[in-house]
């Protein structure tokens, strides 16, 4: 059994992460799950949330949404619709998206509201704001 994991995170546009890591926590569509070396293999869909990975004592964060994760005993491949590092996030844009989604959900918008889309937009905006506040 390997003592570390190979982590690859890609979007349709680019390879975001290719690292050897000690631990990963991923937002699955059914909730967050952690992966350590030797994990049982499985395939799952991603939700909206903050993906965290650890190298030694250093933790790294990405805002992710949508896609898939394949877990093997020594490798994790994440194919995300969107994955952003803290320094790539436009905080002002994320704040405007949060305000827009909250306005739609509160009924203060003149347009007809698709609540599932508005809820997902709010979750993405909140995750982006949370991740943007991280040091790595």
Q: Which token pair is 121?
A: 């937009």
Q: What is the pLDDT of residues 85-124, one digit of tens each?
A: 999 999 999 999 999 999 888 876 666 778 888 899 999 9
CATH number belonging to domain 5-86: 2.60.15.10
User: What is the pLDDT at residue 113?
Assistant: 74
Dihedral sign computed on CA atoms, order 69, 83, 75, 60: negative
Both ends of the chain: CA-CA distance in Å?
Answer: 29
pTM: 0.89
- pLDDT by residue (tens digit) across 63-74? 999 999 999 999
Does residue 38 contact residue 2 with C-beta atoms inside 8 Å?
Answer: yes
- Digit-coded pLDDT (tens) for 26-50: 999 999 999 999 999 999 999 999 9
CATH of 90-132, one of 1.20.5, 3.40.390, 2.60.120, 1.10.287: 1.20.5
Instruction: Count Cβ atoms below 10 Å from residue 34 Cβ, excluding itself.
Output: 10
Tell me where in the chain the CATH 1.20.5 domain(s) lie: 90-132
What is the C-alpha separation between 88 and 93, in angstroms, rounded? 12
Residues in the chain: 136
C-alpha to C-alpha distances, 91 to 25, 34, 70, nearest whole angstrom: 23, 27, 30
In contact, 29 and 45? CB cutoff 8 Å: yes
Q: Where in the chain is the domain with CATH 2.60.15.10?
A: 5-86
Pairing of strands 58-71, 75-84: antiparallel
């Amino acid at each position: 059994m390997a003592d570390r994991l190979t982590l690859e995170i890609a979007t349709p546009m680019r390879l975001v992460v290719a690292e050897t890591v000690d631990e990963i926590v991923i937002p699955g569509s059914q909730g967050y799950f952690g992966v350590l070396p030797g994990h049982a293999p499985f395939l799952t869909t991603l939700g909206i949330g903050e993906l965290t990975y650890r190298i030694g004592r250093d933790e790294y964060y990405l805002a992710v949404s949508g896609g898939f994760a394949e877990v093997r005993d020594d490798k994790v491949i994440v194919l995300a619709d969107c994955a952003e590092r803290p320094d790539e996030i436009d905080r002002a844009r994320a704040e405007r998206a949060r305000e827009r989604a909250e306005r739609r959900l509160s009924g203060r918008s003149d347009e007809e509201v698709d609540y599932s889309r508005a809820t997902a937009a709010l979750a993405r905006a909140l995750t982006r704001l949370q991740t943007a506040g991280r040091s790595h």
